[in-house]
Structure 1
Amino acid sequence: MRGSLYLIPVPLGPGKCEAVLPPAVLEQVRQLRHFVVEHARTARAFLKAVGMPVPIQELSLSELNEHTRKEALETLLAPLLQGLDLGLLSEAGCPAVADPGAELVALAQARSIRVIPMIGPSSLLLALMASGLDGQRFAFHGYLPAKEEERRQAIKQLENESRKLRQTQLCIETPYRNEALFEALLQHGQPSTRLCLATDLTLPTESIRTMSLGDWRRQPPPDFERRPTVFLLLA
C-alpha cells in the first residue's frame, strides 16, 4: 500500500484559515503528520493556526524550494512509499501552481501515487473571476523578464497573442517590482488594451480594478508596492 499526496492550499495572507478553507480540508490537514513545504517557518505557523492535535515539533517537515536539488525529490516521496499520507504546502495559495511543488507532483504521478487536490484559494482564478475579462480563453505566463528590453518584448508578445486569440493574459511579479511592471505595461501597451490589477486577494485590503491602459495613464498610480498582485490584460 502507498500513501496519498494531498495538495493543501493555504491562505493568501494573514487571517483566519476558516475564512478561506473548508472544514473538510482543515480536518484532513489535522490528520497528517508528514509534510513537504516551501519554507518550514511559515509552514509551522500555518499548521499551528489550523489547530494540529499534536505538538508541531512532532511533525515531519521537509523543504522543497528553489534550493532543492532534483536528485533529492525521490527522498521526499519516502513517506508515501512507506504507506503514509503526505501533505504538500506552498507559501501561499494552491501548491504546484507557479510553485516548486509541481516537480514533486510530477514525480508522484510517474510513480502511480494517488494525488488529491484540495479546495482553497487560487489567486489566479479569483483575479480572473473578478476582472471582467475573458474567462473562456486565458493563459498564465508566470513572471515576465526583469530586464527592460526582454520585458518590453514579452509585453508586446502577450498583447499580440491576446488580440489574435481573444485570450486573457495573466502574469505575476515579485511584489517589490510591481511598480516597474505596471509602468512597463503603460509604456509599451496599446491604450485600448484592458488591464486588471488584483491586489491582496481575500484580505481586508483587497483591491481589484480593471481599466484600459489609456485610462490607467490618466489615474494616480496604484498603491500596491510590496503587495501581492496578479496582472491581467486583454487586448
Structure 2
Amino acid sequence: MSIPAAAGILYVVATPIGNLGDLSPRALDTLRAVAAICAEDTRHTRQLLSHYGVEQTLIALHEHNEAGMAERIVARLSAGESLALVSDAGTPLVSDPGFRLVAAARAAGIKVSPIPGPSALIAALSVAGLPSDRFAFEGFLPAKAGARRERFAELASEPRTLLFYESSHRIEDALADAVAVIGAGRPAAIARELTKLFETVLSGTLGELHARVVADADQRKGEFVLLIQGVGDDADARLVEGRRVYAKLIEHLPPSTAAKLAAEITGAPRKGLYGSDPG
C-alpha cells in the first residue's frame, strides 16, 4: 500500500524502566512534538511527563482496548498527525501492548519509527555474565505451576541463553520449578529492580539462586528478569532431554523402567535420570 501523501509518523518511544535520567533527549523532544501520545497507563505516563514539564494529550491504549483503538489511531495518522506510542516502562511491544497498532499502521502505509532506549531484558543481559551472543526472550512465565513447568521442559534443551520476566510473588516458585525441571546446577542470574535504588544482580546456579531468594525476603521484592544459560555440550543436552522424557514416562511406568527407556531413547546416563522426578 502506498503511503498517504500527508500522513504522519508513529514514533515508538522507549521510556525509563526506573531511573528517570535514562529518558533520552531525542525521546523527550519527540514526546513534546507529537500531536498526542498513546500510553498503556495514562496516569503513569502523565507522571513521567510532569517530571519533565511536558503537557501532552494522552490516548489510553492497552491490551483491553487496542484492537478497537488501532483503527481510530491509524485514521489520525493517515490524516497527517504524528503520534507517539509508549508503555509504562521500557520499550513498547516487549511484553507490552502495541503490536496491533504497529501492524495496523504499517499495513496502512504509515511510517513507524523507533526512538530506542531502555529495555529491561537487554539491560539484564548486559550485566548477567551469561553468554549473550545468542539468546531467546520468553516474556512472562505462566502463572500456574503446571504450565510453568511445562514451559521449562520445552526449553530445557535450548542452547541459547533464556530470559524471562517474573513478578515478586512468583519468583520463588519459578526458581523452584526451574530447579526441578532444568536442574539445580544450570548457571543462571536474577536481575532485580534494574536502574532503581535497590538494584540487585545475583548470579550462580539455579539451586544457589533459589536458596538465596528463599533465605532473603528482600530478594523477593520488585520486578525481575530471570536469565538461564542454555544447555552446554552434547552430554548436557542428552541429560536434559533424558530427564524430560523420564518425567513423561514415569507418569505411566515404574521408575526403573522409565529410566531404562528414557536412557535408551535419548542416550542419557540412566543414573542421571533418577531423582529428577518432578513429583
Figure out how many residues of one structure are paired with residues of the other and give that number: 223
CA distance in 2, matches of 1:64, 1:77: 13
The CA deviation at 1:74 is 0.3
Give the 3 Å change call, closer, same or farther, for CA 21–69 of structure 1 in structure 2. closer
User: Does the CA-based 8 Å contact 2:45-2:88 persist in structure 1?
Assistant: yes
User: Does the CA-based 8 Å contact 2:153-2:182 persist in structure 1?
Assistant: yes
* 2:209 alignment partner in structure 1: 216
User: Does the CA-based 8 Å contact 2:175-2:210 persist in structure 1?
Assistant: no
CA distance in 2, matches of 1:80, 1:5: 7
**Structure 1 residues without counterparts, runs of 5 or longer:** none
* 1:125 alignment partner in structure 2: 122
Give the counterpart letter for 1:198 in structure 2. A
SS in 2 for 1:139: strand
* 2:62 alignment partner in structure 1: 65
* 2:168 alignment partner in structure 1: 175
Question: Map of 1:194-213 to 2, 5 A cutoff?
Answer: 194-213=187-206
Q: Deviation digits for residues 171-222 of structure 1, max 9, x if unmatched?
A: 1123332222122223333122111101111112111121112333554635
More relative contact order, 1 or 2 (CA 8 Å, 6+ apart): 1
Give the 3 Å change call, closer, same or farther, for CA 206–43 of structure 1 in structure 2. same
The CA deviation at 1:36 is 0.8
Matched, 1:6 2:48: no
User: Does the CA-based 8 Å contact 1:88-1:95 persist in structure 2?
Assistant: yes
Question: Map of 1:180-199 to 2, 5 A cutoff?
Answer: 180-199=173-192
User: Does the CA-based 8 Å contact 2:86-2:92 persist in structure 1?
Assistant: yes
* 2:27 alignment partner in structure 1: 25
Q: Which protein shows a greater Rg?
A: 2
Moved over 6 A (4+): none
Q: Deviation digits for residues 54-79 of structure 1, max 9, x if unmatched?
A: xx3xx332211121152331012232
User: Does the CA-based 8 Å contact 1:143-1:172 persist in structure 2?
Assistant: yes
Give the counterpart letter for 1:195 in structure 2. A
**Structure 2 residues without counterparts, runs of 5 or longer:** 1-5, 232-279
User: Does the CA-based 8 Å contact 1:30-1:51 persist in structure 2?
Assistant: no
After TM superposition, the score normalised by the length of structure 2 is: 0.74
Matched, 1:232 2:227: yes
Q: Deviation digits for residues 53-110 of structure 1, max 9, x if unmatched?
A: xxx3xx3322111211523310122321121110101011111111111221111111
CA distance in 1, matches of 2:91, 2:100: 14
1:93 to 90, 93, 118: 90
Give the 3 Å change call, closer, same or farther, for CA 150–211 of structure 1 in structure 2. same
* 2:239 alignment partner in structure 1: none
CA distance in 2, matches of 1:135, 1:174: 23
User: Does the CA-based 8 Å contact 2:12-2:112 persist in structure 1?
Assistant: yes
Give the counterpart letter for 1:5 in structure 2. L
CA distance in 1, matches of 2:202, 2:95: 23
Q: Deviation digits for residues 90-135 of structure 1, max 9, x if unmatched?
A: 0111111111112211111111211111121100101111111121
CA distance in 1, matches of 2:13, 2:143: 30
What RMSD in Å do the two structures reach over aligned CA positions?
A: 1.8
SS in 2 for 1:188: helix
User: Does the CA-based 8 Å contact 2:74-2:108 persist in structure 1?
Assistant: no
Percent identical among aligned pairs is 34
